[in-house]
Each structure stands twice: as structure tokens, then as C-alpha cells.
Amino acid sequence: MASACGAGHSPLPQRLGRHTLRLLHDNRRLTRPEAANLGLRHATAPAIAFLDDDDALLPEHFAVLSEALRQRADVAFAYGVSCVTDVHGQVLRLYGEPFVASRMLVQGHFAVGSFLMRRSLVEAGVRFDEALEVLEDLEFFAQCAQRSEMLFVPRAVHRYNIEAGTSGTGTQTAERALAVRTALAHIHGKWRK
């Protein structure tokens, strides 16, 4: 687990079931993309997933997505559907749809907690753009899409609490809308090159 809050994160248990847990941190607060890249640099498993601290993976997340990747050895990225919830856990809508490459730099197709990717994508050089304050996942997914088919699995695998967190893309305010426009301008400029 990569901690964005620095060394002050509460300790983790050493194990979760049969899995060893490691807490990665820097001595300073990290941005979301810096924390994500810290996790990518230290990932050792054959498959990698991400989870924001205010969201939750559904119990079948890994089973569903790892089976999809097992069935398609030629694919390095699989994603499912997120249940978008309010602060009370009430499902507001479902989020996740088949990937359309022509829309990848304009509109998200899925939430960051709803995917599983092979470590081979990291070995191929995909990283989060640390210049982005929001939409770093959108740009990261575009990099992944250049290297793999984006396999959609139409099953709920994740709970996305849209009203919590600090990513800036949940419920819209004028400040968040400006952050999104700024990030999109950066992303579009980068990908035009």
C-alpha cells in the first residue's frame, strides 16, 4: 500500500489472509500520482490494482478480473463496473462501459478502483503523470490503452464513493470544474505531441 500522507500513516497488519502487506511512504505528503507511482515502482505481484482510501473493492473484484485476464493472455488490462455511492452507501448509479479509444482523453470509461492490470504494463513504461492534480488516472489509462486492449467485464467489482475524497472529480464545484479543465488542457497538449 502506498501512503500519500507521509510517514504518519497508521501501521498495517503484516498479513491479510495469505497475502503479505507492505506500507510504502515517503517522508513527505505525496500527490495522488506520486503515491501511485511509488506503488508501481515497488509492485512485485504479477497483477496490480489501485484503491482510493474512501472507496472499496467488492469481494469478487480479484476473482472476476484475474479470471478475465487468465482467459485472455494477450490482454494486460481488465476492468469492471463501479457502484457509485453517496456518503450513506446508497447506490446512485453504475459506472463502467466498453472502452472507446476515440473518447479516452475526453471521458472516463471506469473508475480507478475497478481495474486489474498485468505488471508487464509497468515494465513497458506506463506511469502516472505527476504534473496532474486531477484526472491522472485518465491519462494513465490512455498509456495503458496504447499497449493493451482494454477488456471490459460487465460485472460490479468496486464501490466508488463519489462524495468523499480529494481527487476533485466527484461532485462538481466551480473549483473542481476549473481543476478538471486545467488537467484536460495539459493532457490534450501532451498527447498532441
Cell of 9: 500513516
Under 8 Å CB-to-CB from 177, ≥6 apart: which residues? none
Cell of 53: 482510501
Q: Classify domain 46-192 by CATH number.
A: 3.90.550.10
pLDDT tens sequence across 27-73: 788 899 999 999 999 999 999 999 888 899 999 999 999 999 999 99
CA separation for the pair 34, 3 (Å, rounded): 10
CA separation for the pair 183, 192 (Å, rounded): 14
pLDDT tens sequence across 155-190: 999 999 988 755 445 556 788 888 889 888 889 888
